[in-house]
Amino acid sequence: MTTTRQDTDVPHMIEGLRDSRSSVRLRAAMATGTAPDPRFVVQLVERCAVEPEFFVRDMLTWALTRHPVSLTLPELLREVRSERAQARAQALHTLSKIGDRRAWQAITRAVLADPDDEVARSAWRAAVILVPEGEETFLATALATQLGRGERETQLSLSQALVALGEVIAPALGAAAEAGEPGTRAHALATQQLLRDPDAGFAQAIEEAKRIVAMAGAPQVG
């Protein structure tokens, strides 16, 4: 009996995903996306959780988008609940690339507030893509609870996610700008500025917001 190309290539391609050389893993990931096969899905998802190289992870995500959503979605939803931070972050990133709104069920308040900044940033980006009509206010309110969190890069990601929702975020931003810690107020004010002027630089907006908050908290003289 003649062995088909599929029968001979699948184990070889799966083995390539685990190779010690990143160039081999990259080629294997590209091959699994070029010739999708249901047997690749679990292997691709599992590799996403441990792959150290960004470019390989990006190719793994692309390969998953080439497979049927009926196969990838259940596996990715399980990964969002993984104990491994990279697994959660990459699953959320991949769900955002697939763009199927059935994945919205994974976007809980706990996911949006994940203690790992990279996971949270992936969740914020995914959320604004997956949010169904009518859930924007919930999402804006949940995202606003994260204002003031993290370093500059994390704060920029959150501001970009909020601004992507549009004017629906105005009430949540207004409340955050009036209450909370100085860092929260400054982040809210900077995001308000970006909402008004999307071309404004975040670095300048946050520094100006910090100055305004500091002045508001200074003791009055006279």
* pLDDT at residue 175 greater than cutoff 90: yes
**Contact residues for 106 (Cβ-Cβ < 8 A; gap 6+):** 76, 77, 80, 92, 95
Collapse the DSSP code of 18 into the 3-class scheme (helix H, G, I; strand E, B; otherwise coil) and give the result: coil
- The overall average pLDDT reported for the chain is 90
Per-residue HEC secondary structure of 77-127 comes to HHHCCCCCHHHHHHHHHHHHHHCCHHHHHHCCHHHHCCCCHHHHHHHHHHH
* Cα distances (Å, whole numbers) of residue 72 to 40, 116, 217: 10, 24, 51
- Provide φ and ψ at 96, rounded to 5°: -70, -35
With cut-offs at 50, 70 and 90, classify the pLDDT of residue 5. very low
**The predicted structure's pLDDT at residue 216:** 64
Distance separating alpha carbons of residues 24 and 18, to the nearest angstrom: 9
Report the pLDDT value the prediction gives residue 87, as an integer from 0 to 100. Answer: 98
Going by pLDDT thresholds of 50, 70 and 90, the confidence category of residue 8 is: low
In the predicted model, is pLDDT for residue 119 greater than 90?
yes
Two structure tokens written together for 182: 């100085």
State pLDDT tens for residues 178-189.
877 888 999 999
Q: Please, which pLDDT band fits residue 11 given cuts at 50, 70 and 90?
A: confident
Give pLDDT tens digits for 36-81: 999 999 999 999 999 999 999 999 999 999 999 999 999 999 999 9
Query: Which CA distances in Å does 173 have to 164, 182, 183, 222?
Result: 13, 14, 13, 32
**Per-residue b or e along 173-184, where b marks 16 or more CB atoms closer than 10 Å to that residue's CB:** beebbeebeebb
Contact 80, 93 (CB under 8 A): no
Taking only the tens place, the pLDDT of each residue in 123-168 is 999 999 999 999 999 999 999 999 999 999 999 999 999 999 999 9
**Domains of the chain by start residue, with CATH:** 9-130 (1.25.10.10), 136-217 (no CATH)
Contact criterion met (CB below 8 Å) for 29 and 66? no
What is the structure's pLDDT at 96? Answer: 97
